[in-house]
């Protein structure tokens, strides 16, 4: 007879679990779901490259805000001097006004005591002789003229004093607004830097090591680009010397004068290497980027404006291929960073918060980051 038993499923039953077919598939599904659940939060985290870009953007925004802070700070100092000058002027004019008022009071008192009035027929009748009348008339005329002059002086001084008071009031209002801008810019810088520090603090030790490796690769690429520019500049300089060797020109004298000043600026900036970047700082112990270039050229006897977007207009723009030591190299579309070119594709600059004044390739953030090159003297 044929057996009525049901066929046994594939696999064996052990303690109520069928293996390996359905059980293995079920366990695999559970494991995959578990892995997916554990991986979900990690997927929400930005990649290391995204973190690096975000941090760099925050530092750049902080530098831009620093320039706004520097400009507002400089403007505040100028306006405060103007307000102080106006207030001093108002005080002096008020004192003169009081003196003019006292002089008018003395005339009124003198007239009251003497009963003086304009000469008329009564005066003539009271005079003993025609000469007496003439003398009294002359005296009263002089008194009237002096009094009129005192009144005119008083009115004029009063008008000038009121005008100065209005100017002082307007200047005080402008100063208050600029101080508000200064406070806002300062808060913006601090917020950007705090955000950058927070992002970096959330990285693991392994991620920080990878970030350092990425930065090293960027620096190596920048150094290669700088060496290439150095070779191009050397070849161009040699060709120029060969072409102009028999000739003497005023441009040679001009270049020599600039080189002398640039050498002083370069000597100064080299002495600052290793000092910390501090936003808003102009030395001598720390610098921000434009504070460093301003101080360097001041050592050469050249006064540069305080902020990058003013420094970029304080000289002659030259091509990157024609850059000479001492030139200012500006970066980014918003001109938020600047360094001092030292030749061979390299510069000395105050890079960013947490860093120190250092020598670095002008291609440190890629060729597209370079905005322009300016010769300041």
Q: What is the DSSP letter of 305?
A: P
Q: Which runs of E-coded beta strand occur in 296-365?
A: 316-318, 328-331, 337-343, 346-349, 358-361
Give the active site residue among 289, 302, 347, 350.
Answer: 289
What are the structure tokens assigned to 145, written together?
A: 């003229």
Q: Specify which residues 277 forms β-bridges with.
A: 287
d(CA 110, CA 132): 20
Active site residue 289: yes
Residue that is written with structure tokens 């003439």 in the block: 134
Active site residue 337: yes
Q: Specify which residues 17 forms β-bridges with.
A: 14
Sheet of strand 358-361, all strands in order from the earlier edge strand to the far edge = 316-318, 370-375, 328-331, 337-343, 346-349, 358-361
What are the structure tokens assigned to 38, written together?
A: 């554990």
d(CA 105, CA 111): 10
Give the active site residue among 93, 164, 275, 349.
Answer: 349
Strand, coil or helix: 293: helix
Ramachandran angles phi, psi of 13, nearest 5°? -100, 125
29-38 as b/e: b if 16+ CB within 10 A: eeeeeeeeee
Span between the terminal Cα atoms of the chain, in Å: 114
d(CA 269, CA 267): 6
Which class for 64: exposed (0-12), middle (13-18), buried (19 or more C-beta within 10 A)?
buried
Active site residue 349: yes
Give the active site residue among 337, 352, 371, 375.
Answer: 337
Q: Which residues are annotated as catalytic?
A: 289, 337, 349
């Amino acid at each position: 007879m044929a057996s009525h038993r049901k066929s046994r499923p594939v696999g064996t039953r052990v303690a109520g679990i069928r293996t390996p077919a359905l059980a293995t598939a079920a366990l695999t599904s559970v494991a995959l779901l578990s892995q997916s659940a554990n991986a979900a939060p990690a997927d929400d985290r930005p990649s290391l490259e995204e973190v690096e870009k975000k941090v760099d953007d925050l530092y750049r925004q902080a530098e831009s805000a620093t320039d706004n802070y520097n400009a507002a700070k400089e403007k505040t100092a100028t306006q405060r001097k103007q307000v102080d000058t106006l207030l001093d002027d108002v005080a002096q004019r008020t004192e003169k006004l009081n003196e003019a008022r006292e002089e008018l009071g003395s005339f009124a008192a003198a007239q009251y005591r003497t009963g003086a009035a304009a000469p008329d027929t009564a005066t003539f009748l009271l005079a003993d002789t025609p000469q007496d009348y003439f003398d009294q008339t002359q005296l009263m005329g002089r008194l009237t003229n002096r009094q009129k002059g005192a009144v005119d002086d008083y009115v004029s001084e009063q008008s000038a004093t009121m005008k100065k008071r209005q100017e002082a009031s307007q200047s005080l209002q402008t100063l208050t607004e600029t101080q508000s801008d200064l406070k806002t810019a300062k808060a913006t810088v601090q917020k950007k830097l705090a955000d950058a520090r927070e992002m970096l603090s959330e990285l693991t030790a392994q991620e920080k090591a990878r970030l350092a490796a990425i930065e090293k690769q960027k620096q190596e690429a920048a150094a290669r680009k700088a060496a290439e520019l150095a070779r191009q500049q050397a070849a161009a300089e040699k060709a120029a010397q060969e072409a102009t060797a028999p000739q003497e020109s005023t441009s040679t004298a001009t270049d020599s004068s600039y080189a002398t000043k640039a050498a002083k600026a370069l000597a100064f900036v080299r002495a600052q290497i290793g000092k910390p970047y501090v936003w808003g700082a102009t030395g001598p112990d720390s610098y921000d980027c434009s504070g460093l270039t301003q101080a360097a050229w001041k050592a050469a006897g050249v006064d540069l404006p305080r902020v990058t977007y003013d420094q970029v207009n304080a000289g002659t723009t030259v091509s990157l291929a024609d850059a000479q030591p001492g030139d200012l190299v500006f970066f980014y579309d918003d001109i938020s960073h600047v360094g001092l070119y030292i030749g061979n594709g390299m510069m000395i600059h105050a890079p960013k918060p947490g860093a120190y004044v250092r020598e670095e390739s002008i291609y440190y953030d890629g060729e597209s980051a370079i905005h322009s090159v300016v010769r300041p003297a």
